[in-house]
Amino acid sequence: MSDLCPFDLCDGSGFRVDADTNTAYDCRCRAQRVSRAKARNLSAVIPRRYRDVAFERPPVTDINSAIVQTVRRYVNTIDDQLDAGRGLWFMGHVGTGKTTLAMLVSKAASDAGRSVAIYSLPRLLSLLRDSMDSEEGMLDFMDRLTAVDLLHLDDLGAENQTDWVLEQLYSIVNSRYEAERAIIATTNLMPDELSERLGARTVSRLVEICGDPITLTGADKRLEYRPKLAVGGEPAG
Per DSSP, the residues of 4-56 read: PPTTS-SSSSSEEEETTTTEEEE-TTHHHHHHHHHTTTS--PPPGGGTT--TT
State phi, psi for 154 to the nearest 5 degrees.
-100, 145
For residues 188 and 82, state if they share a domain. yes
Q: Which domain holds residue 14?
A: 1-30
State phi, psi for 65 to the nearest 5 degrees.
-65, -35
For residues 124 and 197, state if they share a domain. yes
- What is the pLDDT of the chain when averaged over all its residues? 84
Share of the chain above pLDDT 90, in %: 55
Q: What is the CATH number of the domain that holds 188?
A: 3.40.50.300
Question: In the predicted model, what is the mean pLDDT of residues 177-186?
Answer: 97
Q: What's residue 129's pLDDT?
A: 87
DSSP run (H or E) holding 102: helix 98-111
For residues 91 and 15, state if they share a domain. no
* DSSP state at residue 84: T
* DSSP state at residue 116: E
For residues 91 and 10, state if they share a domain. no
Q: What's residue 133's pLDDT?
A: 72
Per DSSP, the three-state class of 219 is coil
Q: State pLDDT tens for residues 75-132.
A: 999 999 999 999 999 999 988 999 999 999 999 999 998 999 999 998 999 888 888 7
Question: In the predicted model, what is the mean pLDDT of residues 42-63?
Answer: 88
Per DSSP, the three-state class of 220 is coil
